[in-house]
Amino acid sequence: MANTHLWFTELQNEDLTIGLRIKKILHSEQTEYQTMDVVETVQYGNMLVLDGCIMTTDKDEFVYHEMLAHVPMHTHPNPKKVLVVGGGDGGIIREAIKHPSVEKAVLAEIDGRVIEISKQYFPHIASGLSDPRVEVHVADGILHVQNHPNEYDVILVDSTDPIGPAVGLFAKEFYQAVFNALKEDGVFAAQTESPFINQDLIARVYRDVQDTFPIAKLYWGTVPTYPTGMWSFTLGSKKHDPLAVNTCRVADTKYYTPEIHHASFVLPKFLQELLRK
Ligand code: AAT
């Protein structure tokens, strides 16, 4: 197919963009919470865009979803009940239920339209949502967490950037509510943006998680379509040390391995210094 002259540009901050040539605009709408577009790109396949920001693409989704799910899921020795906050595309749920111990996985996504459109245009990402162990709640993740104390083994926060309905998902009170919603040996992880352009946020979230959980760690992976390509995740754990993990329960991954698990906690010097401040 001849290349079109249509380009999608994400304004990653006021001074930085990423551009992808697109073949086709597949869907556009204004939901109750955000604008939502699905476009077919030449390089990365179908791409989901919320409020102008890239959420996921066919080609690189596996990195983010595997890293946000399998690092904390393996940190817990026997995760039975898991909560995913946000993540309406279903990618984190798909990875979480690969762990054979999981009996129930709850999705709390604020925007039901994201779930519906993902099922239509990203069936391989949304595939886990129809698993009998999965319960889908169209609800604010903050309220869900507040209303379910002492309930979950693992909580995974797959949220949009800290704007609009996701602002509260980066607040210290939220991490305290997550702590309370976890059982006594629970583990939590959240996506925490780019180490190159979101340093203030990473440092603040790390401090807040450190104040809330006995164990706090930053880890990272590479997601080519996210701003700067280097992506951070913050893990909080009540008891289990993510660095003590020595089992791998999932075989069908494309990025995650036991070696990657440990390597992802090795921080470049500038990040070590950022967290020391
Ligand atoms: N799986 C990768 C895609 C996402 S989507 C993040 C989701 O969080 C969106 O569907 C959004 O509707 C949902 N969301 C935002 N705020 C809330 C809330 N308060 N409660 C529940 N769900 C919420 C993440 C992409 C990361 C982007 C990196 N640039």
Ligand 1: which residue has its CA nearest to atom 15? 166
Domain membership of residue 2 (yes or no) is no
> Same domain for 68 and 157?
yes
Q: How confident is the model at residue 25 (pLDDT cuts 50, 70, 90)?
A: very high
| Listed residue (175, 156, 218, 212) closest to 193, CA to CA | 218
Per-residue pLDDT at 163 exceeds 70: yes
18 and 125, same domain (yes or no) = no
Asked if the structure places residue 262 within a domain, the reply is yes
- pTM of model > 0.90: yes
Q: Which of 30, 38, 114, 159 to mutate to test the pocket of ligand 1 (most atoms within 8 A of CB)?
A: 159
From CA 131, how far away is CA 109, in angstroms rounded?
A: 17
Are the CB atoms for 60 and 88 separated by under 8 Å? no
- pLDDT tens digits along 188-198: 999 999 999 99
In this prediction, residue 2 carries a pLDDT of: 60
C-alpha 52 – ligand 1 centre gap (Å): 13
Judgement on whether residues 113 and 74 belong to the same structural domain of the protein: yes
pLDDT > 60? residue 269? yes
Q: Specify whether 75 is located in the same domain as 14.
A: no
* Domain boundary pick from 16, 35, 57: 57
Residue 29: inside a domain: yes
Annotated binding-site residue? 15: no
Distance (Å) from CA 246 to ligand 1 centroid:
31
- Beta-strand pair 134-138/152-158: unpaired
Domain that holds residue 217: 61-276
pLDDT, tens only, 169-205: 999 999 999 999 999 999 999 999 999 999 999 999 9
pLDDT (0 to 100) of residue 124? 98
Q: Is 19 part of any domain?
A: yes
| Active-site position among 37, 111, 153, 158 | 158
Query: Quick one: 133 and 190 in the same domain?
Result: yes
Give tens-digit pLDDT for 212-243.
Answer: 999 999 999 999 999 999 999 999 999 999 99
pLDDT of residue 3: 75
- Residue range 93-147, pLDDT digits in tens: 999 999 999 999 999 999 999 999 999 999 999 999 999 999 999 999 999 999 9
Check whether residue 21 and residue 118 sit in a common domain.
no
pLDDT band at 164 (very low <50, low <70, confident <90, very high): confident
Task: Specify whether 52 is located in the same domain as 125.
Answer: no
* Residue 45, both tokens: 């396949």
φ, ψ of residue 79 in degrees (nearest 5): -70, 120
CATH number for the domain harbouring residue 52: 2.30.140.10
C-alpha 97: how far from chain center: 15
Structural domain contains residue 136: yes
How many domains does the chain fold into?
2
Pocket test for ligand 1, best of 30, 58, 109 (most atoms within 8 A of CB): 109
CATH number at residue 122: 3.40.50.150
211 is in an annotated binding site: no
Q: Are residues 36 and 100 in the same domain?
A: no
Does residue 207 lie within any of the structural domains? Answer: yes
Residues 52 and 71 in one domain: no
- Verify whether residue 158 is a known catalytic residue: yes
In a domain, 51, yes or no: yes
* Ligand 1 binding site (Cβ under 6 Å of any ligand atom): 33, 50, 53, 55-56, 85-89, 91, 108-111, 114, 140-142, 158-161, 165-166, 169, 191, 226
Domain membership flag for residue 171: yes
Mark whether 18 and 85 lie in a shared domain: no
| 215 and 94, same domain (yes or no) | yes
pLDDT tops 60 at residue 1: no
pLDDT at 104: 98
Provide the terminal-to-terminal Cα distance of the chain, rounded to the nearest Å: 52
CB of 43 closer than 8 Å to CB of 231: no
Is 84 a residue whose pLDDT tops 90?
Answer: yes
Query: What distance in angstroms lies between residue 116's CA and the mean position of ligand 1's atoms?
Result: 14
Q: Which ligand 1 atom sits nearest the alpha carbon of residue 65?
A: 1
Residues 27 and 131 in one domain: no
